[in-house]
């Protein structure tokens, strides 16, 4: 299973509090993180 594996370090664009920003996985070091990828047409989930 992939649940126990570490995710590779990455930086990506995110939409947060009404504006676009960059986020990195390392920003959340030491915290629980749930990653959700939505390959789509920029439709907000």
Q: What is the pTM of this model?
A: 0.55
Q: Render the burial of 12-40: b for 16+ CB within 10 Å, e for the rest.
A: eeeeeeeeeeeeeeeeeeeeeeeeeeeee
In a domain, 45, yes or no: no
In a domain, 24, yes or no: yes
In a domain, 44, yes or no: no
pLDDT digits (tens, 9 = 90+) for 1-45: 467 778 889 998 888 899 999 999 999 999 988 877 666 666 665
Tokens representing residue 44 in the block: 């907000």
Residue range(s) defining the domain that contains residue 18: 10-38
Q: Could you tell me if 20 and 9 are in contact, meaning their C-beta atoms sit under 8 angstroms apart?
A: no
**Which three-class secondary structure state does DSSP give residue 25?**
helix
In a domain, 25, yes or no: yes
In a domain, 30, yes or no: yes
pLDDT at 44: 63
Q: How many domains does the chain have?
A: 1
In a domain, 3, yes or no: no
pLDDT at 2: 66
């Amino acid at each position: 299973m992939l649940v126990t594996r570490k995710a590779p370090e990455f930086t990506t664009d995110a939409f947060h509090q009404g504006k676009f920003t960059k986020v990195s996985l390392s920003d959340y070091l030491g915290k629980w993180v749930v990653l959700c990828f939505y390959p789509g047409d920029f439709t907000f989930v």
